[in-house]
Structures are given as C-alpha cells and as structure tokens.
Chain A
Amino acid sequence: MGSGWERAIIVGASSGIGAAVARELARQGCRHIGLVARRETELSQLAGEIGEGARIYAHDVTCYDQVPLLFQQICRDLGGLDLIIYAAGVMPRITAEEYAFEKDQSTIRVNVLGAVAWLNEAAQRFAVAQSGTIVGLSSVAGDRGRRGQPVYCASKAAFDTYLEGLRNRLGRLGVSVVTIKPGPVDTPMTQGLDKLPMLISADEAARQIVAAARRKTGGIAYVPAKWRPIMFVIRHIPSFLFRKMNI
C-alpha cells in the first residue's frame, strides 16, 4: 500500500471504529494486523473476516502492567510495526445531575491511561526506528468541556494534549502522530443516544481516518472534515456564553 504500512496494531479493535479501521487497513493491503481488545469472541469474528494476516490478543487496556510485554510479543508476531491506532474508549452514560467517580475513573483509565501505556511503548520504538505512525482516536468532545460529559470531554482533551506532546517530541525523528477527532459515528458507543448531528457510519469514518493517518506530517484531522470549521467556532465561543448554551 502507498503508505508502506505492512504491520499494524489496533487497540480497541473488537467493535465500532476500531473494527472498521481494521477492515479498512486490510482492504488497503496491510498484511499483518494485531487486533487488541477485551472481547475475544468479537476479535475472533473480526479476524475471521480479515483473514490470514490478523492476530488477536485479548487484553484489558487498564491492565497497564501487561502492556510492555504484550506490545513486544505483538511486534514479534507481526515481524515489526509500522502503525499503531489507539481506538479504545468508553463513554459511560451519566445523567445531567450525576457525579459518579467509578464511571469517571474508568473513563480516565481507558481513554487516557490506557492510551499512554500503549502509545508510550510505540513512541519509544518508533523513535529508535525513526519511522512509524501513531494514531489516536480522540473526539470533537475534547475541544470543549460540555455539561453532559465533563469527564469524557476532559479525557479526550487530555488525550489530545498528550498526542500533541508526542507529535512535538517525535516529529523531528520522522514519526508521524495523528490526532483523529471524529464527530458522532454510528457505533455501539453512540447507540441509544439522541441528538447526534451529522452522524456517519463506522466504515465511512474508518475510510477517512486511514486517509488522514497517511498524511506524513501528522497533525489533527476532524472526521468528517466539516467538523473542523464547526469546532473552530465552538472553541472560540466565550466561556460565559458557552455555559448558557445546551451543547
């Protein structure tokens, strides 16, 4: 394939955008894909769809201690690594009045700490190789602190800032770090939610994500791209106005 990706890891591959990205990469010729997620049954099914090049690894991203060994094992099994995509994420349902520390903690553990555990490993490796692509699936939700999901938004903002730091650290070494900010995507995470503007399918999101990740310079990509001007405006709404809006 044009990008030269032959070996990829997708963390959070069992469903939603992660699974769709795995299918898209395979379709575009990526020969060896390591699929990481908690749910082994779904992973097996996906691996069956993708074919011979897929390997599955049942893993809970909050088991941080397991990551270094598992990461090495996957790289060994794949015969190297060109691309890693962190697509694991949770968005627990909370009500407008709810403050649930357990849910919040889980959000931070999966969306931030799990990402750091996995992408730190990849970053060290790609820095040595002086090549490689890191893709983090963040969200438009990270651009503002919305009243409906304070911790989810905060987790995505933290992830964005972490990815920006990686980009600034690794860009000069030839490593591309891409932040993907999807708007609403039709996945199990969003099922049952109402008011989802400009909803796109997971397959369409995956196509756009892979295309954005191919840009060598890295950077931030909104999926679909029309979210960029929208979020530009939203980011610049003054706080005193934003708190009055039901966004």
Chain B
Amino acid sequence: MSAPNPLVLSSDAAERVPAPLREPVPLPADHLESVSAWGMSTRVLSHVYRPSTVQGIRHVFTLARERGVAVGLRGAGRSYGDASLLGENVSLDLTRMNRILDWDPQAGIIRAQPGVTIRQVWQCAIEDGWWPYVVPGTMFPTLGGCAAMNIHGKNNWKVGPIGDHIQEFEILLPTGDVRRCSRAENADLFHAAIGGFGVLGCFLSITLELKRVYSGLLHVEPIPVDNLTEMMRVFEERMEGADYLVGWIDCFAGGRETGRGLIHQANYLAPGEDPHPAQTLRVQNQELPDTLFGVFPKGLLWRFMKPFTNNVGMRAVNAAKYHLSRRHGGSGGGHTQSHAGFAFLLDYVPDWKRAYEPGGLIQYQSFIPAAQAHAVFTEQIALCQRRGLVPYLGVFKRHRPDPFLMTHSVDGYSFALDFKVTRANRKQVWGLAAEMDRLVIEAGGRFYFAKDSTLHPARLERYRDEERVRKFLALKRACDPENLLQTELYRRLFTEK
C-alpha cells in the first residue's frame, strides 16, 4: 500500500516523530462532519472535535498523533477560503474555548480564551467605556482566529492590526509545551504566531488592550467620489484627522468613472461631546436591529437578495447605491452611529452569503504600496470587466506596515473584491485571480490568507524567498517538528508537492 504519512515532510522531521502508541485505528465515524469555508466555495469532510478545556486540546493532539493524522485549528470558520479547513483529518474547533478569563475595566485589558468572539469582547467592555482597537467587518470571528490571521479594521493605517494590541498570549505547541509570548518574552514566536494562520500552535489565552471611548457613538460622514483618483485623494487628505476610513467601490463602472464609490469617515466623540454616554454605551443600544423598519425579519432578507445576485441585478444595485449616495451624501455634517452599527456592516443582513448559493463566493483582496495602488487597482477593475467577471462588492482601505513575520500589510491600500462562484465560472474566476496576482506581485504587493482561496504556490516563489517567511517556516519546524498542525491553505501554499 502506498500510503504516505501526512505527518512526515522531511527526513529531519521524521527522525523526531515518536512511534505510534498503539496499533492504528480509524477515527470515529460519529465525529465526521462537513466543514465549509465561510464563502461556501470550498467544503471538506473532517473529524471535528470541540474541546472546552486545555486538557481536551491536548487530548486531540494526542489522538491525532496516535492515528497518524494532522490537526487543523478552526475558530468560528469566518475565513472566506480554506484557511480554517483541513479535510480528511482532524478539525480542532475552538468555539467552546469561549471563556473570558479576566477583565480589568480600569485599564481596559481583557484576557480571554481563543474561542471568545469579538462580539463577546465588545459586549464585555463597552459599558465600561472601552472598545477593541481593531475589529473586522463582522463581530462573529473568534479572538484566536483574529490573532492567527492578524486581522485589520477600517483604521489599519492608524492603529495597525489586532496584533499591535495583543499584549501577550499563551500558546500550546504541538510538542506539548506551553509558551507565554509577548514583545519581551519569546518575541520571535509572538511575532510569528500572530498572523501565523494557526500552524505554529494553539492559543490558550490572549491578552488584549482596548481603546477608551467616551461615547457609544461615532460621528460618521459619507463622502461620494467620482473615481479612484478622487477616492485616493480623499483618503490621503483625511488620513490624519479620521479615526476610520473605508471606501465602497462600484466595480461595474468603467472609463472615467472607474473606482467611483462612497467613502465613510468615522471619528470617535471627544469627552463631553455625547450628552448621554452611559446610555449610548449600553450594549442594547449597540445591538444591530433584527428587523427592517421594525417589522420585517432581517433573517429573511437574503432570500430577497438572491434574485439580484447576478450581473444584471448587481449592476443595478451598485449603480443605485452610487447615485443615491451622490444625492444624499457629501453635503457635510454627517450623522452619528453606534460603534457596532458602523463596524459590523457584514452583520446587517444575517446569512447574506446564502444569496450566493449554491456555488458560494470568494473574496480577492490584495495589498498594494501606495505609489502603485492606483494603477494596479484600475487595471484589476478593467481586467474583471474585460473577463465579464465583475465583483459584486469592492471595498477599499488604507494600511500601514506592521512587525509581524507573515504580515499582509503594506504602506498603501487594499482592495477587496467579492466574486460569485458557480460551477460554470469557477475555472474562469480562478484564472482571473491568477491574472490579478501577477499585477500584485509585480507591484510588490501582498495577499491576505484570511481571504485567500485562489493563490497558487508557483506565484508565491518570491514571497517564500523573503527572509521573514524563511524565518517563519524555520519556526514552524522548531515548534511543530511532526508537522501536526496543518490547514488546507498551508498545504496549498507551503508544503512540497
């Protein structure tokens, strides 16, 4: 039988593989589950374990080692692509490791298990006047997942990624060692595991600093722009004064209107600016409403979106959004909005991704240095239009570099594009992504593993040759000599074929 051992990558590592503790036996069938990427474009079968204790995690590592299989760490499964998947092996789902271990309302420091969600964090902290420095566009990812992907928010150029606000963490290495890591202690591992997409070890606790806020509200100003040039000009002008900036782009528009869209700038309220901070900071005043206009259940909305989730419908929706924003936006003044309301746009319509069924969606997000961003993103939009695969959503953000080994960030901009995937267009979408990859690589840009579904290792050669990536892979070998921790993404991009 030619059955390669998935734990063995190199002869070096093989020497350190402990002998199986007993005769191999199959993994129990009742743990077999269908596990999907958030975007639903990739699905695997895995033996899923959901421990609620550190001992439980250790047990899963031992079980996998005995069975000769690998372990894929998974939080809330909110990565668009295959970053939280590991088919045909063990999926270690950490959502039951969801206890907040400590909260200091004076210092704004929270210590929590990796399965605690961003929602739990902000709900714990906000009534004491604190808000996470960095949140993604949805409140449902876990802290462990956010740290593993080193997620960013709409304020990345200002406060960096979430890793910049993690004071320390404890991590269980596949060897069984537990390491406390911070900027002062095990700094190498600290800067590698944050953004290390869950292949170095399993976070056991994460200590995060939060930002003091003096109101539950933000001041939000919508700014319509006619094209990408104007979008970038507004970003550059407002970067200093804004706390958050995010741009929406109508990817159907071409020619002189390429990159037209709408920017939202948001700023924290200064102390005293909100006359009722104790009220606006209440969790119930932050929660997103679950009905539309007070009557229509939002849980049903995706069904009404489905008939529009096609090229004709989305062209119309994007155009309508742009023209409405021109009519109502840009008049100055703006409005106030809750932190949760502004931050978690992706949660407004529950299950909205189901409008993309059955094929699902992928998001293609690239990060380009500021000097090349205009040219690259203009060409990306044109390329999508030429190929007839226009993204239904385009989101534009400003970034800054950070000190983490596997950082995706640059001093520049990112552009995130949502593509509908169907059985008929799948090959074309992947082909288009390859074409866009070449533009990104030529411009010295970067990719973001939390979003990636399409990268091919051949296009990452230059990236893998970077000193920091080599250092990361050396750490991987040191922390996980048996190569126990793997994901589909890791296998796709980093293992020898």
Co-assembled chains A and B:
yes
Asked if B1 lies at the interface with its beta carbon under 8 angstroms from chain A, I say: yes
Q: Across the interface, do A79 and B87 meet the contact criterion of CB distance under 8 Å? A: yes
Stretch of A66-74, A97-105, A198-206, A220-228 that contacts chain B? A66-74
Asked if A124 lies at the interface with its beta carbon under 8 angstroms from chain B, I say: yes
Asked if A92 lies at the interface with its beta carbon under 8 angstroms from chain B, I say: no
Given A68-B26, A125-B45: A75 and B34 interface contact (C-beta under 8 Å)? no
Asked if B18 lies at the interface with its beta carbon under 8 angstroms from chain A, I say: no
Nearest chain B residue, comparing its CB with the CB of A75 = B88
Nearest chain B residue, comparing its CB with the CB of A44 = B2
Q: Across the interface, do B1 and A80 meet the contact criterion of CB distance under 8 Å? A: no
CB-defined contacts of A72 to chain B, threshold 8 Å = 26-27, 88
Write the nearest CB–CB distance from A50 to chain B, whole angstroms: 13
Q: Across the interface, do B6 and A76 meet the contact criterion of CB distance under 8 Å? A: yes
CB-defined contacts of A57 to chain B, threshold 8 Å = 1-3
Given A56-B2, A69-B26, A72-B27: A128 and B88 interface contact (C-beta under 8 Å)? no
Q: Across the interface, do A128 and B34 meet the contact criterion of CB distance under 8 Å? A: yes
Asked if A211 lies at the interface with its beta carbon under 8 angstroms from chain B, I say: no
Nearest chain B residue, comparing its CB with the CB of A67 = B26
Write the nearest CB–CB distance from B5 to chain A, whole angstroms: 10
Asked if B139 lies at the interface with its beta carbon under 8 angstroms from chain A, I say: no
Asked if A58 lies at the interface with its beta carbon under 8 angstroms from chain B, I say: yes
Write the nearest CB–CB distance from B26 to chain A, whole angstroms: 4
Asked if B184 lies at the interface with its beta carbon under 8 angstroms from chain A, I say: no
Q: Across the interface, do B27 and A130 meet the contact criterion of CB distance under 8 Å? A: no
Counting chain A CB atoms within 10 Å of each CB, the highest count among B25, B34, B44 belongs to B34
Write the nearest CB–CB distance from A4 to chain B, whole angstroms: 8
A-contacting residues, B63-95, CB 8 Å = 69, 87-89
Contact bitstring A21-46, B, C-beta under 8 A = 1, else 0: 00000000000000000000000000
Write the nearest CB–CB distance from A117 to chain B, whole angstroms: 12
Asked if A207 lies at the interface with its beta carbon under 8 angstroms from chain B, I say: no
Asked if A49 lies at the interface with its beta carbon under 8 angstroms from chain B, I say: no
Nearest chain A residue, comparing its CB with the CB of B43 = A129
Asked if A214 lies at the interface with its beta carbon under 8 angstroms from chain B, I say: no
Q: Across the interface, do A73 and B3 meet the contact criterion of CB distance under 8 Å? A: yes
Asked if A146 lies at the interface with its beta carbon under 8 angstroms from chain B, I say: no
Counting chain B CB atoms within 10 Å of each CB, the highest count among A68, A73, A75, A77 belongs to A73
Asked if B275 lies at the interface with its beta carbon under 8 angstroms from chain A, I say: no
Contact bitstring B8-27, A, C-beta under 8 A = 1, else 0: 00000000000000001111
Q: Across the interface, do A69 and B34 meet the contact criterion of CB distance under 8 Å? A: no
Asked if A59 lies at the interface with its beta carbon under 8 angstroms from chain B, I say: yes
Given A76-B69, A79-B87, A80-B88: A128 and B33 interface contact (C-beta under 8 Å)? yes
Q: Across the interface, do A77 and B4 meet the contact criterion of CB distance under 8 Å? A: yes
CB-defined contacts of B44 to chain A, threshold 8 Å = 80
CB-defined contacts of A77 to chain B, threshold 8 Å = 3-4
Write the nearest CB–CB distance from B44 to chain A, whole angstroms: 7
Given A72-B27, A128-B45: A58 and B1 interface contact (C-beta under 8 Å)? yes
Q: Across the interface, do B32 and A125 meet the contact criterion of CB distance under 8 Å? A: yes
Asked if A55 lies at the interface with its beta carbon under 8 angstroms from chain B, I say: yes
Contact bitstring A158-189, B, C-beta under 8 A = 1, else 0: 00000000000000000000000000000000
A-contacting residues, B275-317, CB 8 Å = none
Number of residue pairs A-B, CB distance < 8 angstroms: 50
Q: Across the interface, do B1 and A59 meet the contact criterion of CB distance under 8 Å? A: yes
Write the nearest CB–CB distance from B333 to chain A, whole angstroms: 52
Q: Across the interface, do B87 and A56 meet the contact criterion of CB distance under 8 Å? A: no
Contact bitstring B389-416, A, C-beta under 8 A = 1, else 0: 0000000000000000000000000000
Given A58-B1, A76-B89: A128 and B69 interface contact (C-beta under 8 Å)? no
Which residue from A4, A76, A128, A130 sits with its C-beta under 8 Å from B32? A128
Nearest chain B residue, comparing its CB with the CB of A77 = B3
Complex-state Cα separation, A59 to B1, whole angstroms: 8
CB-defined contacts of B87 to chain A, threshold 8 Å = 79-80
Write the nearest CB–CB distance from A129 to chain B, whole angstroms: 6
Q: Across the interface, do B24 and A69 meet the contact criterion of CB distance under 8 Å? A: yes
Nearest chain A residue, comparing its CB with the CB of B3 = A73
Complex-state Cα separation, A56 to B45, whole angstroms: 22
Complex-state Cα separation, A79 to B33, whole angstroms: 15
CB-defined contacts of B43 to chain A, threshold 8 Å = 129
Asked if B424 lies at the interface with its beta carbon under 8 angstroms from chain A, I say: no
Nearest chain A residue, comparing its CB with the CB of B44 = A80
Asked if B29 lies at the interface with its beta carbon under 8 angstroms from chain A, I say: yes
Q: Across the interface, do B6 and A130 meet the contact criterion of CB distance under 8 Å? A: no
Nearest chain B residue, comparing its CB with the CB of A130 = B34
Nearest chain B residue, comparing its CB with the CB of A127 = B32
Complex-state Cα separation, A72 to B43, whole angstroms: 17
Write the nearest CB–CB distance from B149 to chain A, whole angstroms: 24
Nearest chain B residue, comparing its CB with the CB of A72 = B26
Counting chain A CB atoms within 10 Å of each CB, the highest count among B2, B69, B423 belongs to B2
Which residue from A56, A68, A121 sits with its C-beta under 8 Å from B1? A56
Nearest chain B residue, comparing its CB with the CB of A73 = B3
CB-defined contacts of B6 to chain A, threshold 8 Å = 76
Nearest chain B residue, comparing its CB with the CB of A70 = B1
Write the nearest CB–CB distance from A121 to chain B, whole angstroms: 8
CB-defined contacts of B88 to chain A, threshold 8 Å = 72, 75-76, 79-80
CB-defined contacts of B45 to chain A, threshold 8 Å = 75, 80, 125, 128-129
CB-defined contacts of B25 to chain A, threshold 8 Å = 69
Q: Across the interface, do B34 and A55 meet the contact criterion of CB distance under 8 Å? A: no
Nearest chain B residue, comparing its CB with the CB of A54 = B2
CB-defined contacts of A56 to chain B, threshold 8 Å = 1-2
Contact bitstring B42-56, A, C-beta under 8 A = 1, else 0: 011100000000000
Write the nearest CB–CB distance from A39 to chain B, whole angstroms: 13
CB-defined contacts of B69 to chain A, threshold 8 Å = 76
Nearest chain B residue, comparing its CB with the CB of A40 = B1
Write the nearest CB–CB distance from B340 to chain A, whole angstroms: 35
CB-defined contacts of B2 to chain A, threshold 8 Å = 55-57
Nearest chain A residue, comparing its CB with the CB of B69 = A76
Given A56-B2, A76-B88, A76-B89: A129 and B26 interface contact (C-beta under 8 Å)? no
Nearest chain B residue, comparing its CB with the CB of A124 = B29
Complex-state Cα separation, A76 to B89, whole angstroms: 7
Complex-state Cα separation, A125 to B34, whole angstroms: 9
Identify 10 new A-B residue pairs, CB closer than 8 A, beyond the known A69-B25, A128-B33: A55-B2, A73-B1, A75-B45, A76-B6, A77-B4, A79-B88, A80-B45, A124-B32, A128-B32, A128-B34
What are 19 pairs between A and B in contact, CB < 8 Å?
A56-B1, A57-B2, A58-B1, A59-B1, A69-B25, A69-B26, A71-B26, A72-B26, A73-B3, A74-B3, A76-B69, A77-B3, A79-B87, A80-B87, A80-B88, A121-B29, A125-B32, A128-B32, A129-B43
A-B complex: 5 closest residue pairs judged by Cβ atoms: A76-B88, A68-B26, A69-B26, A57-B1, A72-B26
